Structure 1
Amino acid sequence: MNDDTIDVSVRRSPKYSAFIILGVILGMIAGGILSFLPVDMAGVETEVTQASATWMLMVFLGAIGGFLGAIVALILDRISLRRARTYTVPAAHDPAPAEDETEVSSRETPADPEAGETEAAEEPSEPRRAGETDVRE
């Protein structure tokens, strides 16, 4: 590797939140469908309504679906690490400011306007865009 180039690894990584949300939605859909299957309730001592059974299944299977979605995202992330490509690109160097420039810019402007302006106050702190003007009093 040369001083003027750097190695960069490029890969596609999954968005974990999208996989988790999709898993929750699919789990809730599965819970809604499963709640309408006929079940023999003769051995159950507690009275459970259809609505409460649907809600419990949707929440339970939604949580399981979220965990499964996260696991799928982790697996896809590990696969993408193996398929990552490495490229050599030219390095962009930003020169560090000299010590004199950092001291001048860190000083505050004098409180007395008659005392005069420093060199740092004469130059704009940010580069101007096209069409912008520098207004001073």
Structure 2
Amino acid sequence: MTDPAEHRIEKAQLRRAPKYGVFLALGAALGIIAALILTFAFAGGQDATDESPFTGVTYTTTQVFGFVALICIPVGLALGGVVALILDRTVGRRTREVTVDHERHVEPPVGDED
């Protein structure tokens, strides 16, 4: 006995879209790199024994990196998201129509041997 199958050809719109997670991860990575650069570029030769002229507290390089990273990582995430949105809007306009072969295979119930 042959199984009943449904077979039809349809038209579909094909559109490419960027992977937002990749762009957000790259933005966060660029934020970390920017935080590292800013931490060591503007250290000004200060050691851990120098006090901050504004607060009178001594901050280690690791603490300064953490403070700067709190700003740079969200900015990097936002920039990565904006780049992904811009790419989605520009690349998303270009859609093309493709032909899709849609086939549905239905198996008879188990135990039905007629």
* Length-normalised TM-score, structure 2: 0.68
Percent identical across equivalent pairs? 30
Q: Could you say which structure has the larger radius of gyration?
A: 1
Q: How far has the Cα of 1:94 moved from its partner?
A: 2.8
Query: What amino acid is aligned across from residue 77 of structure 2 in structure 1?
Result: G
Q: Which has the higher contact order (CA 8 A, sep 6+)?
A: 2
Query: What amino acid is aligned across from residue 21 of structure 1 in structure 2?
Result: A
Aligned length: 99
Could you tell me whether the CA contact under 8 Å between 2:32 and 2:72 is conserved in 1?
Answer: yes
Q: Give unmatched runs, 5+ long, in structure 1.
A: 106-119, 124-137
1:35 is matched with which residue?
39
Q: Give unmatched runs, 5+ long, in structure 2.
A: 1-7, 47-51
Could you tell me whether the CA contact under 8 Å between 1:28 and 1:59 is conserved in 2?
Answer: no
Q: How far has the Cα of 1:19 moved from its partner?
A: 0.4
RMSD over aligned CA atoms reads 2.7
After TM superposition, the runs of 4+ consecutive aligned structure 1 residues lying more than 6 A away are: none
Which of 77, 100, 104 is equivalent to 1:94?
Answer: 104
Mapping of residues 1-137 of structure 1, within 5 Å: 5-36=9-40, 37-38=42-43, 41-87=52-98, 89=99, 91-94=101-104, 105=109, 120-121=110-111
* Length-normalised TM-score, structure 1: 0.59
